[in-house]
Amino acid sequence: MFVDERIYTLHAGKVPTFLKLYEEEGMAVQTRILGKMVGYYFTDVGPLNQIVHMWGYESLDDRFERRKALQAAPEWQAYAAKMRPLVAHVENKILVPAPFFQAP
């Protein structure tokens, strides 16, 4: 399994707004299309105003196809139009499991 880690740095004070919007409008479509949510967090110590979420994929092709479907979904596009102004910076990493790690 590959993990796609995404870190959104929000404008100061926007974490509660982002989380409420995501829960009400983004989460259902994202989990339906992307599938395996590994984790969804916000920072409390360290760099603040960050949302960190991770998604599991069987392969990079699986990730590509699912992300393409997400971007094409009208309900995701409507959510993203409201979400983007809250975000100052986005980071994205593909994490590969160590040979000895067995995902739960």
Asked if residue 37 has pLDDT above 90, the reply is: yes
Statement: residue 102 has pLDDT above 90: no
pLDDT of residue 38: 96
Query: How deeply is 8 buried, as exposed, middle or buried, from its count of CB atoms within 10 A (0-12, 13-18, 19+)?
Result: buried
Of all residues in the chain, the percent with pLDDT exceeding 70 is 98
φ/ψ region of 30 (left if φ > 0, alpha if ψ in -120 to 50, else beta) reads: alpha
Domain boundaries, the chain: 2-95
Residue 11 has pLDDT above 90, yes or no: yes
The correct answer on CATH 3.10.20.30 for the domain covering 2-95 is no
pTM: 0.90
- pLDDT reading at 40 higher than 90: yes
Residue 6 — very low, low, confident or very high, per pLDDT cuts 50/70/90? very high
